[in-house]
Structure 1
Amino acid sequence: MTRIEKTLVSVGALALVVSAGAACAQDAAYKPLGKGSFVIDARVTSVAPSEKGEIFTAAGADSGLHVDVNNDTVPTLGFTYFFTDHIAAEAILGTSQHTIKAVGPGTDVQVHKTWVLPPVVTLQYHFNPKGKINPYIGAGVNYMDWYSGKDYNGFTVKLKSGAGTALQAGADIALKGPWALNIDVKKVFYKTDANINSGALKSKVKLDPAVVSVGLGYRF
């Protein structure tokens, strides 16, 4: 099973657990969304890079190695404000930790472990804000800030922080009163420069993580 398949299975299982809890809730009036609504979502989020990055020498020769970055599952918060009944903006806050390896023929070595703070801000369109099931789409920007990195096995690695773009799709399923089940998928497009061993090796790494979340929202 690939890393992406494992991620989807994990998030799918979490969604089933949350859905089961929702099914146990009494059928009661729910609070609709609309202009002026403010929503806080507490989520479990899987960050799954689909990395692509060959490692080259300082002279530009192909080393035969490429970059491998693992997934991480973390808690996150989402904050959404509705400017109109259908138009809203969301900001998400969370941090994830990733192990970076150099991989190639006969080589699979850990070189770095780092935290990243990847805030994403999107502008959303909500199709059915007054209804019990409200699908939405969005697009926006993100910033990847790498921090608290630790080097391994004699390597030194520096990653360049920077901005990217994001696409989003999701749905809110109203529960009892102000509570709602939220399922959210983002695709972040982001590329970073990796400087290895003071420039002796380098790579332009296309990370493009899938950010898949499930959680509970509270509507104000």
Structure 2
Amino acid sequence: MKNIIFAIVMLFTFQVGFAQDNSNFLRWEVRARGVGVIPYEKSTVNTIGGKVDASNDFIPELDFTYFFSKNIATELILGTSKHSIKTQGSDISAVGGPTNFDVDLGTVRLLPPTLTLQYHFNQANDNVFKPYLGAGVNYTIFYDVKPGSVVKGLDYKNAFGYAFQVGFDLMVTDRFFINADVKKIFLKTDVTVDASNLATGLNIPANVELNPLVLGMGFGMKF
């Protein structure tokens, strides 16, 4: 993670030094996309075992891109998703339940601003198809936690992660374009389930990797 952040900072510094030499093109892009958020979970659930399952979501997303040069840019994406959370195959026999049970853990919203550094190909003005690759960092904020009817509460730790992306802009005019984008975000969080309503002092810790695949499509404008 530290190496990725250092590389991004160095590339930003390098490109800013040459930004003055590329003044004859539009530096900003703004996009509006519909985005599917598909978690690929890995988890370790202590005490009761089982694995964590998070639902998919479809959300609107807004992003802004700034070009340091015709090929190098940085993108910030803004959007928030809501996921239903449960464990699968947990053993709750210690509190009088079955040995294989799916525990409803309610819902949580994620605010995951993601900053990537991108390389854009085919940037000549007369090219219609303009693909790009990117890599960067993510900071996910967990909020609006609703634990549902089984447990008393949940605590999610906000966390840094990293992201990779591939996408393209399909130019309609010299300013307006259609965009398709795929991101893979690698995200871990520590979760503590307060189940003291089921047994006195019962807290269930878990380490969860959400690692969502983020599929987006929309339109944008250069300015």
TM over 0.5, shorter chain: yes
Provide TM-score, normalisation by structure 1: 0.79
- Matching residue of 1:172: 169
Q: CA–CA distance in 1 between the matches of 2:80 and 2:168?
A: 23
Letter in 1 for 2:170: I
Letter in 2 for 1:132: V
Tell me which of 170, 182, 202 is aligned to 2:179. 182
Tell me which of 148, 151, 159 is aligned to 1:152. 148
Q: CA–CA distance in 1 between the matches of 2:158 and 2:25?
A: 35
Q: How has the CA–CA distance of structure 1 residues 42 and 48 changed in structure 2, closer, same or farther, with 3 Å as cutoff?
A: same
Asked if the contact 2:130–2:168 (Cα under 8 Å) also holds between the matched residues in 1, the reply is: yes
Tell me which of 101, 118, 121 is aligned to 1:124. 118
Q: CA–CA distance in 2 between the matches of 1:157 and 1:148?
A: 11
Q: CA–CA distance in 2 between the matches of 1:35 and 1:175?
A: 17
Q: How has the CA–CA distance of structure 1 residues 162 and 79 changed in structure 2, closer, same or farther, with 3 Å as cutoff?
A: same
- Matching residue of 1:69: 54
Q: CA–CA distance in 2 between the matches of 1:77 and 1:204?
A: 30
Would you say how many aligned residue pairs link Structure 1 and Structure 2?
Answer: 182
Asked if the contact 2:104–2:150 (Cα under 8 Å) also holds between the matched residues in 1, the reply is: no
Tell me which of 186, 201, 206 is aligned to 2:209. 206
Q: CA–CA distance in 1 between the matches of 2:173 and 2:135?
A: 29
Of stretches 152-161 and 42-51 in structure 1, the one that deviates more from structure 2 is 152-161
String of CA shifts for 1:133-164, please: whole Å, max 9, x gaps. Answer: 00100000001101111111231211100111
- Matching residue of 2:18: none
Structure 1 stretches of at least 4 aligned residues deviating more than 6 Å after TM superposition: none
Asked if the contact 1:95–1:115 (Cα under 8 Å) also holds between the matched residues in 2, the reply is: yes
Q: CA–CA distance in 1 between the matches of 2:32 and 2:145?
A: 27
Letter in 2 for 1:159: Y
Two-structure CA RMSD over aligned residues (Å) = 1.5
Tell me which of 123, 126, 134 is aligned to 1:138. 134
Asked if the contact 1:120–1:141 (Cα under 8 Å) also holds between the matched residues in 2, the reply is: yes
* 1:82 corresponds to 2:62: no
Stretches of structure 1 lacking an aligned partner (at least 5 in a row): 1-33, 58-62
Q: CA–CA distance in 2 between the matches of 1:64 and 1:147?
A: 25
* 1:111 corresponds to 2:97: no
Tell me which of 29, 34, 39 is aligned to 1:49. 39
Cα shift at 1:176: 2.8
Q: CA–CA distance in 1 between the matches of 2:70 and 2:49?
A: 53
Counterpart of 1:53 in 2: which secondary structure?
Answer: strand
Cα shift at 1:200: 1.9
Task: Work out the percentage of aligned pairs sharing the same amino acid.
Answer: 41
Q: Please say which structure displays the higher CA radius of gyration.
A: 2
Asked if the contact 1:35–1:85 (Cα under 8 Å) also holds between the matched residues in 2, the reply is: yes
Cα shift at 1:36: 4.5
Of stretches 106-115 and 39-48 in structure 1, the one that deviates more from structure 2 is 106-115
Cα shift at 1:177: 4.1
